[in-house]
Chains A and B, each alone.
Chain A
């Protein structure tokens, strides 16, 4: 089952460290999305990427957060100098990007980031 793969599943960082979250989309999918879920909340859109391009990053905090989806390899969400408020579940989703396919987004299992 070649679903969306995220790693690590759990990540613990101390304040001020960097967090790198990885996402490999489903086979055949060229569109990647990142969402953040705070406790007791629904998911909030962060960024939408296609290969080598950021299409919409309107949900990304202006500082410390960045995302990329290189030509080769997984998509990376990077959080620099983490703070306790960054503790959350980060979900990656992928889609074929085709309207004919309804562009349904399939999610990975998420990365739970805990900042000590």
Chain B
């Protein structure tokens, strides 16, 4: 069975600083994908970034980067130059089964960006 653990229920960061949101995972599948989604207070789920288990390099998407440490089974999200609009819930998820079709989500981290 797959499991995602997000140990930080809440995080605070000052505007313009960088912040790391932790995510560890557990799976016996050799092939899997790791995803991060953002859920602002309006409720929608916004895809941020993806990392495949066989990808050699860490994924980056604008101000988002994924610190993928396969041996430690961690996939931390790094947000650089935080903005007030980054305040939201952030969910780490893992897809497995070859096609990533069944996502397992963590419980999320509530990020608050302070001015």
Contact = CB atoms under 8 A, between A and B. Distances in A.
Interface string B59-85: 000000000000000000000000000
Majority SS of interface residues in chain A?
strand
A56 B101 CA distance: 9
A41 B89 CA distance: 11
A44 interface: yes
B11 interface: no
A102 B44 contact: no
A9 B46 CA distance: 16
B101 A102 contact: no
Contact of A103 (B100, B107, B108): B100
Contacts of A58: 102
Interface in B7-43: 33, 35, 37, 42-43
Interface residues of A, number: 29
B45 A43 contact: yes
B47 A107 contact: yes
Nearest to A95: B101
A103 to B, nearest CB: 5
Contacts of B105: 35, 42-44
A106 B103 CA distance: 12
A110 B43 contact: yes
Nearest to A44: B105
Contact of B33 (A44, A48, A102, A106): A102
A49 B103 CA distance: 14
Interface of B: 4, 33, 35, 37, 42-47, 50, 52, 91, 93, 95, 98-108
7 contacts: A43-B93, A48-B101, A56-B101, A93-B45, A103-B95, A107-B44, A109-B44
Interface of A: 31, 33, 35, 40-45, 48, 55-56, 58, 89, 91, 93, 95, 97, 99, 102-110, 112
Sorted nearest first, the 5 A-B pairs with minimum C-beta distance are: A42-B105, A107-B45, A109-B44, A103-B100, A43-B105
